[in-house]
């Protein structure tokens, strides 16, 4: 239980993205497209290992 709480606390305070495979924090955006509901879909690639991830993003608050 304590182990999980430490993990959860670390995720709450983490800023930005990191590669799930190698932990590197430098990701390159390969492409961006608009999705339904005003969301953006971005395909990203780790600059260290080449792992690719997809992020779904939306604006919170007033632009």
Q: The domain that contains 15 carries what CATH number?
A: 2.20.25
Where do we find the tokens 């932990």? 23
pLDDT given at position 41: 96
For residue 10, being part of any structural domain is answered with yes
User: pTM of the predicted model, to two decimals?
Assistant: 0.68
For residue 39, being part of any structural domain is answered with yes
What six digits make up the tokens of 15?
């800023």
Please give the residue range of the domain that contains residue 37.
2-57
Instruction: Supply angle C-alpha 54, 19, 48, rounded to 5.
Output: 110
For residue 62, being part of any structural domain is answered with no
- The pLDDT tens digits for 7-34 are 556 556 667 899 999 999 999 999 999 9
């Amino acid at each position: 239980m304590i182990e999980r709480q430490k993990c959860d606390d670390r995720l709450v305070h983490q800023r930005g993205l990191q590669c799930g495979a190698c932990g590197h924090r430098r990701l390159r955006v390969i492409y961006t497209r608009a999705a339904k509901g005003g969301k953006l879909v971005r395909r990203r690639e780790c600059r260290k290992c080449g792992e690719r991830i997809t992020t779904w993003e939306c604006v919170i608050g007033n632009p």
